Chain A
Amino acid sequence: MSRNHRRRYASRGWLALMYLLTVIALIPLGLVLWFTILKGLPSVIHPQFFFNSELPPCEPRCPTVSDAGVGHAIVGTAIMVGLASLMAIPIGILGGIYLAEYAIARWSSWVRLAADVLVGTPSIAIGLFAYAFLVVPLHHFSAFSGSVALAVLMLPIVARTTEGAVALIPNGLRESGLALGLPRWRVSLQLILPAAAPGVITGGLLSVARAAGETAPLLFTAFGAHILEVDPNGPMQALPLTVFKYALLPYRSLQDQAWGAALVLIVFVLGINLASRFLLRRQIALAGQR
């Protein structure tokens, strides 16, 4: 075999190895989805799973059809993520507009670095922060303190995606607005922001998905509850808390509820992610047309 042959075969071999590694990288995604559906579906197919609250362990004699549910956790996650969104999304959008519209300002590069660092900050540390900041002074666990922790997580995501979307808008639109004599704030908020809306909404959606799946910031803020709680001033259950706490307990009936909650969570989160990818592609296509 000539040297050139050897080189060509070696190249093909390495390419094949890289494809193999790529397949290996995708196997966990398939396995996580497969097992969550396989183990979660038996709980989720009963409609009351979405409305009832959890049941205590029924071992050793469990009914064939369970009345257990995660309704209280779904409501709790909705309330806490909703409150967090009210805090994080407006601030994040304004911050993102600053980052994009004044991109060359010295301060904006510091804000950008801080946002990227905050994205990588361990969520458990953010939970400790919310605990020290809200739970300690008020002397009780509360869903509100959980929302604040989630808002801290969401803020940099919203800001950075808003920045990306606003930066995509061509300068012509900005300049024509200013040429018409519009003040800067009207150009940014009434001209640029609507044009960047799909990208900004994407950022909001992605941050909601991220917050809905977080467990660590809620452990010692929202704490968890066994029944339906709607008062943000008291402890509250959330879907990730259900998964975390019941997966580790030695009762089959509780583990089933954990798998069911995991399935609800993963469908919600992946659904949002796929939807936002679609939105983002439209935004890029629109920007390309202009």
Chain B
Amino acid sequence: MAASAETVQARVITARPPDRFRTTVAGVATIVPAVLVLIVITLAVQAWPSITHFGLGFLTSTSWDPASDEGPFGALPAIFGTVATSFLALALALPVGVAVAVLLAEPGHTTIRGVIGTGIELLAAIPSVVYGIWALYVLAPWSYEHLELPISDHAGFIGWLSSPAVRGLFNAALVLAVMILPTLTAISRDVVRAVPRGLKENAVALGATWWETTWHVILPSARAGIFGATILALGRALGETIAVTMVIGNAYVIPHSIFQPAYTLASVIANEFTEATGTLYPAALIELGLVLILVTLTVNIFALLLVRSTAAEVRRAA
């Protein structure tokens, strides 16, 4: 008799119709990761001639000679330019981004905060190409005259602060800093806001001033999340194409000064890909794209996991 009871039990469970809706939407949702994987595979396949021809030396070579199809092609100047512009932009944007985030997370003054918050978010909405034309005609000439010339006049004896130029690495970093500010601010604000109120109230009750509370209590407990936001912003900066292409000056060299023209992975592709003929030259350009996407993928996944785990941690603490 026990056996028949088990069959009844089993029938009840299997009688529940399979959730076909769930299977369908899960299938559709799978398109998202599938596209991501497909992008990486497609780029790897297209870059294959260059990968096999140059091997790992591609990453460390500085030559770039499209005149002959044999090249040689090397990615180092573009990698250097990408990393240099991104980190310079982060250094410029980080203090501003954290300051705005701290102010936005404060209670009170909701109208002012609403206006500031909207303004920063609109900054994220402006298309890259509009930043580009603005940087080319307004920001770069201004920065040349009012930042680069005075700096090189006073500190030009330091090699990498000499020889100012209107289009170059520094001005590209400047426009990048503006463009990554919203990413930095939005995530840092959420993290700062997630700091348990009790912590802050304890500090105030002990007689700490606003600054002492912010510096010794709020920022340290939000540290990991702000770091995550910074890495996420770094990912955005590494992949930014159009605005950088318009002001970086397009010189495939490792510049001796931060003011001098350079190149980034993305802007080499943007400028040269439509004119690339033969097999090795386009493959080398696609390999630049592959390097770029693998680096940004790694950076983004790391940052996302960091932001997520901090948010969970803070929630648990609260």
Q: Which residues of A line the B interface, CB within 8 A?
A: 7-8, 10-11, 14-15, 17-19, 21-22, 24-26, 28-29, 31-32, 35-36, 39, 91, 94-95, 97-99, 101-102, 105, 107-108, 110-111, 113-118, 120-126, 128-129, 131-133, 136, 152, 155-156, 159, 183-185, 188, 209-210, 212-216, 219-220, 223, 240, 243-244, 247-248, 255, 258-259, 262, 265-266, 269-270, 273-274, 277
Q: Is the CB of A8 within 8 A of B209?
A: yes
Minimum C-beta distance from B104 to chain A (A): 8
Q: Is the CB of A185 within 8 A of B31?
A: no
Report chain A residues within 8 Å CB of B96. Answer: 21-22, 24-25
Residue of A nearest to B290 (CB): A125
CA distance A26 to B136 in the complex (A): 19
- In the A-B complex, list the 8 residue pairs whose CB atoms are closest, starting with the nearest: A213-B127, A122-B239, A114-B33, A11-B209, A11-B211, A98-B25, A185-B21, A95-B29
In the assembled complex, B151 has its CB within 8 A of some CB on chain A: no
Residue of A nearest to B175 (CB): A28
CA distance A152 to B119 in the complex (A): 27
Q: Is the CB of A243 within 8 A of B212?
A: no
Q: Is the CB of B131 within 8 A of A32?
A: yes
Residue of B nearest to A219 (CB): B270
* Residue from the set B126, B137, B273 with the largest chain A CB neighbour count within 10 Å: B126
Give B192-236 as 1s and 0s: 1 = Cβ < 8 Å from A's Cβ atoms. 000000000000000001111011000000000000000010011
Report chain B residues within 8 Å CB of A25. Answer: 96-97, 99-100, 120, 123, 181, 185
Cβ contact of A155, chosen from B31, B116, B136, cutoff 8 A: B31
Q: Is the CB of A18 within 8 A of B102?
A: yes
Chain B interface, DSSP helix/strand/loop, else mixed? helix
Q: Is the CB of A31 within 8 A of B125?
A: no
Q: Which residues of B line the A interface, CB within 8 A?
A: 19-22, 24-26, 28-33, 35-36, 38-39, 42-43, 45-46, 95-97, 99-100, 102-103, 116, 118-123, 125-134, 136-139, 178, 181, 185, 209-212, 214-215, 232, 235-236, 238-242, 246, 266, 269-270, 273-274, 286, 289, 292-293, 296-297, 300-301, 304
Minimum C-beta distance from B109 to chain A (A): 11
Cβ contact of B36, chosen from A114, A210, A265, cutoff 8 A: A114
CA distance A133 to B212 in the complex (A): 56
Q: What total of A-B pairs shows CB separation below 8 Å?
A: 256
Report chain B residues within 8 Å CB of A36. Answer: 130, 133-134
Q: Is the CB of A121 within 8 A of B297?
A: yes
Q: Is the CB of A133 within 8 A of B42?
A: yes
Residue of A nearest to B182 (CB): A25
CA distance A274 to B241 in the complex (A): 26
Report chain B residues within 8 Å CB of A117. Answer: 36, 297, 300-301, 304
Q: Is the CB of A95 within 8 A of B32?
A: yes
Q: Is the CB of A216 within 8 A of B21?
A: no
Report chain B residues within 8 Å CB of A114. Answer: 32-33, 36
Cβ contact of A118, chosen from B36, B42, B122, B269, cutoff 8 A: B36
Minimum C-beta distance from B75 to chain A (A): 15
Q: Is the CB of A22 within 8 A of B100?
A: yes
Chain A interface, DSSP helix/strand/loop, else mixed? helix
CA distance A133 to B45 in the complex (A): 11
CA distance A216 to B20 in the complex (A): 39
Q: Is the CB of A270 within 8 A of B35?
A: no
Minimum C-beta distance from A82 to chain B (A): 18
CA distance A211 to B274 in the complex (A): 21
CA distance A35 to B93 in the complex (A): 22
Minimum C-beta distance from A66 to chain B (A): 18
Report chain A residues within 8 Å CB of B215. Answer: 14
**7 additional contacts, CB 8 Å, given A113-B301, A116-B304, A273-B121?**
A14-B210, A25-B96, A117-B36, A120-B300, A155-B35, A214-B127, A219-B270
* Residue from the set B39, B130, B210, B238 with the largest chain A CB neighbour count within 10 Å: B130
CB-CB under 8 A for A21 and B119, given A155-B31, A183-B21: no
Q: Is the CB of A269 within 8 A of B126?
A: yes
Q: Is the CB of A32 within 8 A of B134?
A: yes
* Residue from the set B21, B25, B43, B136 with the largest chain A CB neighbour count within 10 Å: B25
Cβ contact of A240, chosen from B118, B127, B211, cutoff 8 A: B127
Q: Is the CB of A132 within 8 A of B286?
A: yes
Q: Is the CB of A99 within 8 A of B29?
A: yes
Q: Is the CB of B103 within 8 A of A102?
A: no
Residue of B nearest to A8 (CB): B209
Report chain B residues within 8 Å CB of A118. Answer: 32, 35-36
Q: Is the CB of A31 within 8 A of B209?
A: no
Minimum C-beta distance from A179 to chain B (A): 16
